[in-house]
Amino acid sequence: MKKLLISLLLTACFSNAAFAGDKITVAGSGGMIPLATRLAAAFMEKYPGEIVEVNQTSIESTGGIRSAEAGRIDIGMSARPLENKEMSLGLKQTEIARAALIIGVHRNVPITGLSEEEVCRIYKGEITTWAKVGGEKAPILVFTRPDADSTKKTIREHMPCFANLVETQSAVIMPKSADMIKAVMTRPDSIGILDSVGVLDSKGAIKPLKIDGVAANEETIASGRYGIVKRFFFVTKSSTSAAVNKFISFIKSKEGAAIIKASHAMPIP
């Protein structure tokens, strides 16, 4: 009887294994977590036997890249391209989407846009109240990201006046993307730097500003009129499993593209 029970348990385990796919582990840039989570959920709904586990705690782009290289995860999420020294490690990068980098404000701020010069003067500490840019007399609460973060690097690269800007000492540094979203959502009269996916996740609590009169959308990003854009990459080893290839193929499909567009990002064919 005991042998029969063991035999039945082993049969059940092997039977379940036959129907379950390999678990795909994903971790890295915090700004990519919401989009990757939506894509993973849609993939698993379409392929019930597959499992994609997206780490909901940011380990940043470099952490994702290093973890993928070390084999601790299957896919590293990076909001920047691989550097030459990282390419030499035998890694492969697949760009899955582009998201506008947004200057966002709390919804109580009664303005719809700023010029690049005004953004830089706010972050430099020269403009300290909303009244100076068409708002109320309230003081501006400035949130920023660490200098080593891909978000800060992107805005320094694509907004000329920000390239070598020394930020006001009153600017509060938000270590993670989720921290920035929460801060701007909950603090009236605040301004922060985040991406279009994060603005969507705020459910209207964060207002994206036009920059020099140009709003961030698919048309302005594609045409180059809105040029402050983050690139989202999946980083893997050069040789990947069938399950990982299947997930990336899903992301590149029409279904994946629709999810990316619905997340206010632009899919990459």
The string of pLDDT tens digits covering residues 217-231 is 888 988 889 999 999
Beta bridge partners of 210: 113
**Three-state SS for 57?**
coil
CATH number for position 87? 3.40.190.10
* Residues 12 and 69 grouped into a single domain: yes
Q: Which tokens belong to 243?
A: 């399950």
Q: Which tokens belong to 21?
A: 């796919």
> Which residues 6+ apart lie within 8 Å of 27 measured at CB?
54, 55, 57, 59, 63, 64, 67, 73, 75, 76, 77
* Residues 196 and 109 grouped into a single domain: yes
* Residues 113 and 219 grouped into a single domain: yes
* Residues 89 and 116 grouped into a single domain: no
For residue range 124-163, what is the model confidence (pLDDT) as tens digits? 999 999 999 999 999 999 999 999 888 899 999 999 999 9
* Residues 17 and 75 grouped into a single domain: yes
* Residues 200 and 242 grouped into a single domain: no
For residue range 39-61, what is the model confidence (pLDDT) as tens digits? 999 999 999 999 999 999 999 99
User: Among 47-51, 200-204, 257-261, which is the least confidently predicted range?
Assistant: 200-204
Q: Using alpha carbons, select from 125, 120, 99, 251 the residue that is nearest to residue 177.
A: 99
- Whether the per-residue pLDDT at 192 is higher than 90: the answer is yes
- Whether the per-residue pLDDT at 267 is higher than 80: the answer is yes
User: Cα–Cα distance between 66 and 73 in angstroms, integer?
Assistant: 9
Q: Are 95 and 80 in contact (CB under 8 A)?
A: no
- Whether the per-residue pLDDT at 11 is higher than 70: the answer is no
What is the extent of the structural domain holding 176? 99-223
In the block, residue with structure tokens 């896919």: 75
* Residues 11 and 51 grouped into a single domain: yes
For residue range 81-128, what is the model confidence (pLDDT) as tens digits? 999 899 888 899 999 999 999 999 999 999 999 999 999 999 999 999
User: Cα–Cα distance between 229 and 224 in angstroms, integer?
Assistant: 10
Q: How many domains does the chain have?
A: 2
